[in-house]
Structure 1
Amino acid sequence: MLIISPQTCTEGFAYDRGSRRCIDEDECRTQPDVCRGDMQCVNQNGGYLCLPRRLYDQPYRSEIPARPEATAQCLLGYTPAEDGSCDDIDECETNSHHCNPTQVCINTAGGYTCSCTEGYWLIGGQCQDIDECRYGYCQQLCANVPGSYSCSCNPGFILNPDSRTCQDVDECEDEPCTHGCFNTYGSFMCNCDEGFELASDGTSCIDLDECSFSEFLCQHRCVNTPGSFSCVCPPGYYVYEDGRSCEDINECDTGNNTCTTAQVCFNFQGGNTCLDALQCHSPYVEVSDNQCMCSAENPACRDKPFTILYRHMDLSSGRSVPADIFQMQATTRYPGAFYIFQIKSGNEGREFYMRQTSNVSATLVLSRPIKGPRELVLDLEMVTVNNVINFRGSSIIRLTVFVSEHPF
């Protein structure tokens, strides 16, 4: 039985709220004097008939005892039987009904009624198809067909056994994603592990090239790996704890150097060098392991620096400028004396200059960036002038600067 709203019942039917369906309306009871004159109202399914009262009130056969071989007088819709009774005429079987081709004939006692098959309703005497899709019979998709309907579901859903409602399909059970899968209502979403991104097909994952994101990801060189990346450092360095910075390997401490026992290992950024034992050339004599002296009593020492002190330092390639890199000061002070600090040699490229910071000290300043690897030897001179005793002398610091290949 079709379940519909009160506004959809056709003429001859009324909506019953208890059963929520359309039931036949008894016009003979609800409409007084629907049949006039000597006519009797007879209710039918979806309508009524007006029959002559004399026919409606007559018994099925005559009250007059029938003589043998007598024919019974039967009401309309009945036919005499051999035993003198009245048998109902099946108008539907004898095709003596007046239902139109769209209707279905239903035999009744003494008559028949015209009705419609399931999926149709009677409108204006004609059986017309009920559009079940119009009344929301299906939860999602509906296709109306003559006398019936068919439900289906949107992609991502399957039809329930009731053939009307739909339930979500868990696509993740079929493992459509190469990495992770998240089921959603009617669909699904793929996600990727860290270091990967979703491809254009929406299901597979491709590696992210983290090294292409920034040139500052690693201090030296970035190497992409599946789902990640790694930083590598040049020879002479190791990757620091942060995994990105490069730290110098002190080959002099680790013993990983080629220096002999007679040499001194000097470490600098990214490498090391072996320093030979100090050799002072005449007229200089060695006074310590890094200092040569020329005695004032020696006539050959006239006009020569009194002492030469040997020092070494390292410098990163491309270091920002200006930068104070070395301090120089007088260790012995004489009354009435003053001091002049200058670069005597090794500054042909004018990368350095001396800035006097007091009357007894000065600072070596890097004024231009230097690209390595490179080795420079600077003679830093301190001139002592004492006009009281008419004295002028000098001392030299021979500074060897090892410039690294890399800026770290």
Structure 2
Amino acid sequence: MSFHPYTSTLQTERPQQAPDGAARGRPLRVVIVGAGFGGLAVARELGNTAIDVTVIDRRNHNLFQPLLYQVATAALSPADISEPIRRTLGRYHNIKVMLAEVTGIDASTRMVLLDQALPVPYDRLIIATGSDYNYFGHDEWRALAPGLKTIHEARQIRHRLLVAFERAEMSQDPEEKKALLTSVIIGGGPTGVEMAGAIAELGRFMITRDFRKLAPEHFRVLLVEAGPRILAAFPEELTTYARRELDRMGVEVMTGRMVEDISDGIVIANGETIRTANVIWGAGVKASPAAGWLGVEGKAGGRIPVDGTLRVSGHTDIFALGDTALGTDEAGKPLPALAQVAKQQGQYLGKALRHELLDGKASAPFHFNNRGNTAVIGRHAAIFDFGKWRLKGRIAWFLWALVHVYLLVNFEKRLLVTIQWIWRYLTRQRGARLIDENVTRSITPDRKP
């Protein structure tokens, strides 16, 4: 689940509840906070059982975040990669869904505290609240450089890109035209690389096919990375290939550049001023504020430390998973904040709770089955790292597409996305290039260096 900052509220002056539902002659209550990959996986494993399950999320839909960049670049529509939570879980008679914002957790009385609703009691609590982008103390940059965690952000980026092209077509000032057609992506991880490649493909296609007064030399895509190389989590041979492909697509990769300031129409990196109408942030993430709800110290970007069974230290009835949890593998290495980790943890925890609460059986510790790390650069270009062996190029691109279609929430979404990808592959057309005239605003850079 993506989030915006919550207000942490801890209350302790409530009467202590009975340990478990069984002691009170009622079904055991499992509350899941967050309906992302992990939260939904837990809920499905507990569906249609004798356990009373409540899923709480501040949004009414689940979202396949790995494909948000395609919404931002007009390749897919928001509905293609999202679905109402009630529809996803509607077939399970024992699952209730609440549209609410969590403000805290009262662990002493086993209550989840909500912003505008009564507290929700639990016997077991699962925290799966995801992560957000880390602006490293410059939260004022968020409005100027949106990330890719929500549909709103993706639509905002798409809107700015499309409006910039329309304004550039009308501009008579060469410098203004160039600034309008300059996009700066901050962060050289998978999200930044995928965005850079997608914007490069979108822009050059539109300039060639749809605009009469724009030329390819006006168009720039800059990928800014503070570290020495992009895709630092991948082996160097794969990052070398990715950079070569980005160069071929016309993306200017700027490594070793620290962003110093972002203002309206301006990015300053290592003293260089770049005029731009579009800034996208992908430079780092931090966990949700759930650690503060529990009064525990977050580690590695605010993540909650958990043991091998995903229990939060000091709380036998509270679990955490996905991006908001800090779990480790058998070697003691932190598990990455990836969709496959959250989904596997959710499936494991759902089964473990089912065995524990219904059969009284304990489960072995969680084991992460690494199915590889991947990033797509552009048409026919992707990388796949499986540890012992690696793929790049057309085969990796095809495998990337298969994996992402498979991970979509249901068959309908898989079919829709597959059909649109095939059509886009054959025609290179982008079908979601719509601008909402009611929210159009001037984004023309009005300051020159």
Instruction: Report the TM-score, using the length of structure 2 for normalisation.
Output: 0.19
Specify which structure has the higher proportion of helix: 2
Which gives a bigger RCO, structure 1 or 2 (Cα 8 Å, sep 6+)?
Answer: 2
Instruction: Report the TM-score, using the length of structure 1 for normalisation.
Output: 0.20
Specify which structure has the higher proportion of strand: 1
